[in-house]
A and B are shown apart, each in its own frame.
Chain A
Amino acid sequence: MKKLILSVLLLNLLAACSSNPPKEEVAEPATTSAATTEAPAADAQGATATDAQAAADAQAAADAQAALMEKNSVYFPFDVDAVQDADRETIMNHAEYLASHPDAKVRVEGNADERGSSEYNLGLGQRRAKNTKRALVLGGASDSQIETVSYGEEKPRCSEHNEACWAQNRRADINYSAQ
C-alpha cells in the first residue's frame, strides 16, 4: 500500500512535469482521479498489477484532463455575445468536469476584438463571460464555482488588424489556474 501511494505520488509528479503550463490545471485533476482509482485497484490481483492498473488509469485520466484543459476557450462572431454551437462540446466537457469536481473553481474571462471603444468592449467581454458561465451552469456546473471577469480588448492574443487575429481575440477563456 505504501508502495502504491508512493507510485501515485510519482505519477502526480510526472503528470505535473509533463503538463503544459499553467501547471496547476493538470496537476490538480490528476491528483483527484488517481485517488478515486485507488480503492478498486487495491482489491485487484496483487501489488504489481494494481500498480500498473492505477498507473494506466491515472495516466488516462491525466491525459483526458490535459485534453480538456487544452481546449478552454470559446469563440464569438463580431459584436455577438451568445455562446456558439461550435463550442457546445467544449462547454459540456468543462461543465461535466466542474459538476464532478464540486471543489474546483474557474474564472471565465471575456475578451473582445479591437473594433469598438475599450469601454464598450469591456461591456461586451463581460456579456461573453456571463453567457459562457450560464452555459456551464446549464451543463451542470454550479453557480458558485464560476467567477466572471472581462478584459475587453485589453489582453489580445493577437495584435494585427485582420479577421484571423480578431477571431482569436473574440473569446472567453475558462481559466482554472487563475483562482
Chain B
Amino acid sequence: MRRWILLCLSFFVVPAHAVLNIEITGAGEHQTPVSLVRFAGDAATAQGLLDIVGSDLIRTGLFKLVDPAGKTPHEPRDIRPSEWVGVEAVLIGSIQSMDDGKVAVKFRLLDLVRNAELLSQVVTAKEDQVRAIGHRIADMVYERLTGSPGVFSTRIAYVSRDEGVYRLVVADSDGDNEQALLTSKEPIMSPSWSPDGRQIAYVSFEKRRAMVYVQSLSSRKRTLIADFPGSNSAPAWSPDGTQIAMVLTRDGESQIYVANSNGGRLRRITYSDAIDTEPSFSPDGQSLLFTSDRGGSPQIYRVSIEGGSVERLTFESGNAFSPRFHPDGKSFVFAHFGDGVFHIAVHDLESRQTQILTAGGWEKKPSFAPNGKMILFATEVQGRGILATVSSDGRVKQKMVAQRGDIREPMWGPFLK
C-alpha cells in the first residue's frame, strides 16, 4: 500500500520536475572518458542517482560517458582493468536504506590509468533527497577530475513571466527543482544572491514603482530596503554580505549608492549627469563595476567603493551592459550589443582584451558560476526567454528550454556553506 501511494505521488510529481529540456552543443578541448556504474541497491533510486550524476557531468562538456556495457562492479576488487580500456575513471557504489527513513550512499571514484582510488565517501540523506545527493557526488567527481570545485549543488534565481504573472524563481543549477519565492502581477527584476546563499535582493513593482526588497529563502520573510521617490533598483551584495549597492533616482539621474544590507547608512558612490547602473562588487569588495552612458553610449566603468575617480573599461563599438566579475576578480562578463544583436563577452582586466563567447541573439544578463567555469545568461528560442550557459572558454553551450513562460534576469548563486 505504501508503495502504491509513492507511485501515485511520483506520477504527479514528475511533470513538475520535467520543466526543462536541456540541449548541449560543443565539447571541451579534452574530454575525460568516465564510466558511471549503476550503484547496488534499490534499482529505481540507483538509476535516478546515476542519471543526475551523468547529466551534471555531461553538461560541462568536459567528460565523455563510457557505457559500462553490462559490467556491474560495486567494489574495487570487482574491476578488471583489461575490461575498461580507454576509460580513465570509474564511479561505483551502493545505496543502503537505513531504519530512520534515510539512505546511505557509499561511493568510490577509481583512476584506472594510475590504479588509484580518487574518492571514497559515504553520504547519508533522506530518501527524497536523491537529487541533492546526485549533485553532491557530481561535485566531488568534477573536483577530483578537473581540480576545480563543482557547482552542481549550487542554485540559480531568475524571473519568469507567464500570462501577466511574474514569479521570482529559485532552482537547482540544472534548472530543475524550481520554487517560486514571490508571485506578482507587476514586474520583478534583478534578483541578486547574498554571498551566503540565504537571501535574495530584488526589484519589485508591486507598489507600482521599482523598489528593492531582501527576502530570506528559508523563512520567506522579506524586508523593503529602498523605497525612495523614483526608481530603486539593481541591488548587488558586497562579498562579505554586510552591504548592498543599488541604483536610486531620488536625486535625479540613476546613480549608484551603497547601504548596509538592511538599507541603513546610505551613501552615494557616483556623481554624474548620466545613467549609472548595474553595480557589481569586486571579489575584494574594494571596487564596483557598473554600466554608464556618461561617454555617450552605455559602456562598462569601474569606481572605488570610496567613490572618487572613475575608469572606463570597455571601448567596444556598440554598447556594453550588465558587468559581473569573475570570482577571481581578473576578468568580467558582460552583454555586448552591436549590429542589432546581443552577445555574451568576457573582458580580461590585465590584457584589456574582450572575447565574444556566443553566436549572438537576445543574450542578456550574464553571471559566472561560483567556480568561474561557466556563465549563465538569458536568451531566446522562438520568441520565448530561456536560460542558457556557456563555458568560460566559449567551447560548450547549453540551452535549458522551459515548457512554458518567458524566463529572464537569471543570476547564478554562490557556493552553499
Contact = CB atoms under 8 A, between A and B. Distances in A.
B409 A118 contact: yes
B321 A122 contact: no
A161 B380 CA distance: 11
Contact of B275 (A120, A148, A149, A159): A120
A120 B208 contact: no
A151 interface: yes
A140 interface: no
A101 interface: no
A120 B209 CA distance: 16
B278 A154 contact: no
B365 A118 contact: yes
Contacts of A161: 362
A114 B364 CA distance: 10
Nearest to A124: B275
A118 B189 contact: yes
B230 A148 contact: yes
Interface string B200-225: 00000100111000000000000000
Nearest to A160: B383
A155 B210 CA distance: 13
Interface string A135-179: 000000000000011111011000111000000000000000010
A123 B247 contact: yes
B27 to A, nearest CB: 31
B208 A126 contact: no
B319 interface: yes
Nearest to B408: A118
A11 B277 CA distance: 50
A146 to B, nearest CB: 13
Given A118-B409, A120-B291, A120-B298, A126 B230 contact: yes
Contacts of B408: 118
Contacts of B253: 123, 127
A123 B277 contact: yes
B287 to A, nearest CB: 19
A170 B185 CA distance: 22
A149 B278 contact: no
B164 to A, nearest CB: 10
Contact of B364 (A117, A126, A151): A117
Looking at A126, A130, A148, A159, which has the most chain B CB atoms within 10 Å of its CB?
Answer: A126
A79 interface: yes
B254 A154 contact: no
A145 to B, nearest CB: 15
Contacts of B107: none
A114 B361 CA distance: 12
Interface residues on B, range: 20 to 34
B273 to A, nearest CB: 10
Contacts of B277: 117, 119-120, 122-123
A21 interface: no
Contacts of A126: 230-231, 249, 254
Interface centre among A79, A116, A122, A159 (most CB of B within 10 A): A122
Contacts of A122: 189, 210, 231, 233-234, 247, 254, 277
A100 to B, nearest CB: 27
Given A118-B408, A120-B275, A123-B247, A154 B233 contact: no
Interface in A68-124: 79, 114-120, 122-124
Contacts of B209: 149-150
Interface in B85-137: none
Contacts of A155: 187
A154 B205 contact: yes
B187 A127 contact: no
Given A117-B291, A123-B254, A149 B231 contact: yes
17 contacts: A115-B337, A117-B291, A117-B298, A117-B364, A118-B409, A119-B189, A120-B321, A122-B210, A122-B234, A123-B275, A123-B277, A127-B253, A150-B209, A150-B210, A154-B189, A160-B383, A178-B208
Q: Can you list the 3 inter-chain pairs with the closest CB atoms, starting with the nearest?
A: A123-B254, A123-B275, A154-B187
Interface of B: 187, 189-190, 205, 208-210, 230-231, 233-234, 247, 249, 252-254, 275, 277-278, 291, 293, 297-298, 319, 321-322, 335, 337, 362, 364-365, 383, 408-409
